[in-house]
Every structure is written in C-alpha cells, then in structure tokens.
C-alpha cells in the first residue's frame, strides 16, 4: 500500500515547507523511512549544472537519504512566478504522468512520502491541471497549512471549502505563524478552531515570535500520518 500525505496551503509563503520538514523530521524519530517530494517548484538557482529549488533541497535534507533530484522535484523552474507561467517561459508542459512516476519511485524507496504542493489549492499548473487535480490524482489525504497573518481567516475558510468540494480527504489543518508579531494571533487561532470543520493538527510558532511557547501545539503525527501503535504508517490510499 502506498502511503503519504499531501501538504497544501492557504497561499504562497504560508509555511508549507516548514510544516513538511517538521513532519519528515518527526516521522524519522519514530523510525519511519520518509521521503520529501516537491512535484513542482517555481523559483530556483543553478547548481551542479541544473536548476534546483531551495524548498526541494530542504525536504531532501530532512529526509536523510539520497535520491536523484529529478525524482525529488520533477519540475523545477527558474522564475518565482505561477508554475504554469514559469513552465511556459521555459517552453515546458507540466505532465501529470511524469509526476506520478516520480511519486511511485519514491514509494519504492520509503515507507512514507510527504508531498508539498505549490502555492495554494487551486494554483494552475497548465492546461486543465492544477494543484487540486494533482492532489486528487495522487489520492493522498490532505493537510492544510494556514499561514497565520492578516487575512488568514478568509483564506483558510475558502481553502477548506474548495478541498472538501473536490472530494479530497481533508484530515486537518496546521497553523504556521509567518509574522513574528501578528496582532490578535491567539484570537485568530480561536476563530479558526471555531469556524473550520477540519480539526487543528498542530500550530508551529514563528521562531522569533515573542509568545512561541504558549502558542505551540505539537503536530499530531498519529492523526496526520495514520501511525499504528508500533510507529508504522497506515495512512495513504493506493
């Protein structure tokens, strides 16, 4: 059985990579061989003769084992713009089949795959394909990262609505503090708890936030990843 989770977010820069990295690191402490996967990345630099993306490399480092970069990040574009525009600029079309093949390869190398999306849930990838279509094609449960900043309530509620309407399995949300001194942070968390149908699976404070200890809620690994009592994963769908 293929296992994993799809990490999406309310928008760009909401903390998806931080949450995905944390998931990978904590799963490794439970004895799970876990791979990070960044199917599409826009915003890259040249290294070792090819474009590479910082978020993809961060996931690879967190995973702790070597894998070909093309498998870790099948589509990597230099410009930090919407993926479909970056692909057009490089004369490339993003193909679902290539992403699924890379995911299958990672499944054979690991027990669990943490997939990080690009931008938010409806970000276009080209043609009729978008992040929603990619997540549904992978048939993985979805974890929504809510960037805790001004506007997060509307973004979170609309994202949840869209994810549920797509038929994807939304297993919860994680708050990610992206502003170190956000006004009414605690009150926004209370509002999210009350208004979102999906349960909160953790809150990651900003490392420079003045109240990080009081705001932190550890990630609920068992519920996010479907770990059974011996620490192994039963979460994904095949």
**Domains and their CATH numbers in the chain:** 4-225 (3.40.50.300)
pLDDT at 238: 33
pLDDT by 10-residue block (mean), the chain, 238 residues:
84 95 94 96 90 95 92 95 95 96 96 96 96 97 96 98 98 94 91 97 82 71 76 44
The pLDDT, as a whole number, for residue 165 is 98
Q: Containing H/E element for 143?
A: strand 142-148
User: Three-class SS of residue 198?
Assistant: coil
Whether 223 and 171 have beta carbons less than 8 Å apart is answered as yes
Q: What is the per-residue pLDDT for 2?
A: 43
| Secondary structure percentages of the chain, helix, strand, coil, to 5 | 40, 25, 35
User: How much is the pLDDT for 209?
Assistant: 64
Cα separation, 95 vs 87, whole angstroms:
11
Q: Which of 16, 33, 38, 186 is catalytic?
A: 38
pTM above 0.85, yes or no: yes
Q: Could you give the CA distance from residue 154 to residue 186 in angstroms, rounded to a whole number?
A: 16
Q: Does the annotation count 38 as an active-site position?
A: yes
For residues 173-199, one letter each, b for 16 or more C-beta atoms within 10 angstroms of the residue's C-beta and e for the rest, the string is: bbbbbbeeebeebeebbeebeeebebe
Q: Evaluate whether 59 touches 24 at the Cβ level (below 8 Å).
A: yes
């Amino acid at each position: 059985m293929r296992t994993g989770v799809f990490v999406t977010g309310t928008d760009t820069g909401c903390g998806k990579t931080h949450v995905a990295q944390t998931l990978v690191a904590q799963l490794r402490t439970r004895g799970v061989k876990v791979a990070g996967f960044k199917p599409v990345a826009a915003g890259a630099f040249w290294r070792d003769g090819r474009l590479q993306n910082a978020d993809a490399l961060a996931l690879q480092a967190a995973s702790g084992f070597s894998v070909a970069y093309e498998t870790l990040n099948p589509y990597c574009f230099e410009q930090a713009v919407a993926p479909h525009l970056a692909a057009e600029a490089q004369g490339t079309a993003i193909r679902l089949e290539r992403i699924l093949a890379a995911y299958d390869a990672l499944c054979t190398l690991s027990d669990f795959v943490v997939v990080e999306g690009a931008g938010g849930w409806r970000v276009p990838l080209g043609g009729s394909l978008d992040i929603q279509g990619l997540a549904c094609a992978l048939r993985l449960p979805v974890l929504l990262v809510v960037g805790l900043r001004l506007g997060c309530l509307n973004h979170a509620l609309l994202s949840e609505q869209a994810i549920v309407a797509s038929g994807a399995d939304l297993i919860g949300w994680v708050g990610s503090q992206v502003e170190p001194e956000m006004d009414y942070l605690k009150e926004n968390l209370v509002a999210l708890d009350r208004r979102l149908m999906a349960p909160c699976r953790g809150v990651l404070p900003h490392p420079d936030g003045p109240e990080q200890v009081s705001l932190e809620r550890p990630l609920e690994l068992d519920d996010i990843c479907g770990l059974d009592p011996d620490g192994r994963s039963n979460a994904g769908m095949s």
